[in-house]
Amino acid sequence: MALDEPKDTDQTYEVEGFKYIVDKEFLEKVQPIKVDFSMYGFKLDCGADLGAGACGSCSTEGSCCST
């Protein structure tokens, strides 16, 4: 998860005043995606195994979100 500007290859969503930009090709592989906030920062859950062992969900602390 990072700050970015939308490109032609991205899907844009606005939820509760926040704008989310997701690469369309990546979205096809990992949907559904859920973004939540915990006491440690943003938490991402998705419908794909992104590797790194127990990475059913990943947060900004883990390296499993780096693709």
Stated pTM of the model: 0.60
With respect to residue 7, please indicate whether it lies within any of the assigned structural domains: yes
- How many CB atoms lie under 10 A from the CB of residue 65? 19
With respect to residue 15, please indicate whether it lies within any of the assigned structural domains: yes
With respect to residue 23, please indicate whether it lies within any of the assigned structural domains: yes
The DSSP bridge pattern shows strands 33-38 and 10-15 to be: unpaired
Number of domains making up the chain: 1
Token duo for residue 23 = 């690469």
Q: What does each C-alpha distance from 45 to 15, 30, 38, 56, 65 come to in angstroms?
A: 16, 9, 12, 7, 10
pLDDT reported for residue 51: 65
With respect to residue 38, please indicate whether it lies within any of the assigned structural domains: no
With respect to residue 35, please indicate whether it lies within any of the assigned structural domains: no
Q: Look up the domain containing 4 and give its range.
A: 1-30
56 confidence band (pLDDT: 50, 70, 90):
very low
